[in-house]
Structure 1
């Protein structure tokens, strides 16, 4: 069980690295007017989303469900897990929204400002804090 937990945490850290860095790349991408820079950002964004973030998300979910399977009934009795699973659903939606913004950048159809992406970048950090508190403290 501890190996599964370790791999769950490793994949979660990798997923969050992508969720925190990809919108930051969007900030810089939205700010630049240089075509060569835009093309470089596209390469970086695509590799981060498809090469790191998406596989890490899948691994996080697989290892998380594996952990849950050890004591599903016990875990589900606590309200903290329901709240955590709700936040994870929000993160999955956020991840896919990042993919949608990436596609818009790839088409040259981004309509969002760098300021929007600066605020958008804060969402996963807030969710991360809440998930860690829920998983460690288990307040309810």
Structure 2
């Protein structure tokens, strides 16, 4: 298995980066939709249903597949011989950040269900503030991967 993963390393890395770009685009955009949904749309209107449809499609058709492929190709990279030095600290920080990003993804999915049920109680300000969380995680992840500070 190790020899195969080493032979397709650049393909795996490329597909991982593509997946991450798609996932992050959704991670950044969905909370912005929630801000507009919260601040500009009355519950039960045609516009409410339109927002719910856009949010569902973004989550289920783009974000979920992108998250799954990010995890798949990321785990393939982790299993590729010679890529990760587990005695270093950076892989552990990066892994913690990826788990936190996955939690945020799931948090967004739960919020979508609240919009569908008409039970959202969060403000646009709350969603704006939460939108900073993946930005911080992304910064840490990129630094861990490129700089490998420890």
TM-score class, shorter: over 0.9
Alignment-derived partner of residue 27 in structure 2: 19
Residue equivalent to 1:5: 13
Displacement of 1:74: 4.2
CA distance in 1, matches of 2:36, 2:69: 28
Alpha-carbon distance in 2 for matches of 1:120, 1:74: 31
Distance 1:108 1:87 in 2: 31
Long gaps (5+) in structure 2: 1-8
Q: CA deviation at 1:125?
A: 1.0
Picking from 41, 51, 58, the partner of 2:61 is 51
Which of 49, 62, 73 is residue 72 of structure 2 equivalent to?
62
CA shift at 1:75, angstroms? Answer: 2.6
Runs of 4+ in 1 over 4 A off after TM superposition: none
Gaps of 5+ in 1: none
> Alpha carbon RMSD of aligned pairs, Å?
1.2
Aligned 1:1-140 pairs, distance under 5 A? 1-34=9-42, 35-71=45-81, 74-140=84-150
Aligned positions, number: 140
Please identify the structure whose Cα radius of gyration is greater.
2
Cα separation, partners in 2 of 1:72 and 1:93, compared to 1, 3 Å: farther
Separation in structure 2 between the aligned mates of residue 94 and residue 104 of structure 1, nearest angstrom? 15
The residue number in structure 1 matching 2:6 is: none
